[in-house]
Amino acid sequence: MKIIPAIDIIDGKCVRLSQGDYDRKTEYHSDPVTVARSFEEAGIQHLHLVDLDGAKAKHIVNRKVLENICSQTNLQVDFGGGIKSEEDIKIALGAGANQITIGSLAAKQPDLFFRFLEKYGADKIILGADARKGKIAVDGWKESTDWDVEDFISAFAEKGVEYVICTDIAKDGMMAGPSLPLYQRIMQRNPDLKLIASGGVSSMEDIAACTSANMYGAIIGKAIYEGAIPLEKLAELC
């Protein structure tokens, strides 16, 4: 299973939100590149980078942060937040992202999403499936849709999506463990899916549980910054 630390960006700084609430923000570091380097030095190979300003603005805002991390580390970066157009895709990939995560666009304009999937390839585009109370949420988690998260993921997997990041918003930043029953149901319906758990991973036991559930990867954010999961432990896994 891939260990994937997260860096969320607001105003060019490394922050974490609780349950996606911009008013419940904690700043952890002023230089995301320094944080990314610390992950790489620990032997970690992957990074989940989220442009929270971009998610709110509905276009990429923190392009420079992405460029700096990609040019100054060898981390394999998946980038999300505000990708709403082909121009945004070109910006992200051109800045060095290995993959991009698209969520809101997929829910609101699925035909356009599939055109991008066909053009850029299923190895480059990750479907972002962010759920609140079992329903897909969009636009920085500020709006809920009628899409059931399990049906949403299955429908897109049937049409060629290979990678999915599924975030239970209620778990995000709460250090209360991941939504394993949800992930297990998704994997039962889509056994070949490369499903990445996001939200609530807060201990080595959570990581082991995600591994046992056949997750492709687990995104870890606040637990690293708060010291609940030491980088040395993650280094051992990597």
Q: Which residues are catalytic?
A: 8, 130
Taking CA atoms, 173 is separated from 84, 193, 223, in Å, by 25, 25, 8
For residue 210 the two structure tokens come to 């995600």
Q: For tokens 């053009």, what's the residue?
A: 119
**Cα–Cα distance between 223 and 200 in angstroms, integer?**
8
Element (H, E) at 87: helix 86-94
Q: Count of CB atoms within 10 A of residue 108's CB?
A: 15
**Cα–Cα distance between 89 and 110 in angstroms, integer?**
16
**Cα–Cα distance between 134 and 132 in angstroms, integer?**
5
Q: If DSSP states are collapsed to H, E and C, what string results for 158-205?
A: HCCCCEEEEEECCCCCCCCCCCHHHHHHHHHHCCCCEEEEECCCCCHH
Residue 29 and residue 35 in contact, taking contact as beta carbons nearer than 8 Å: yes
For residue 170 the two structure tokens come to 């209620």
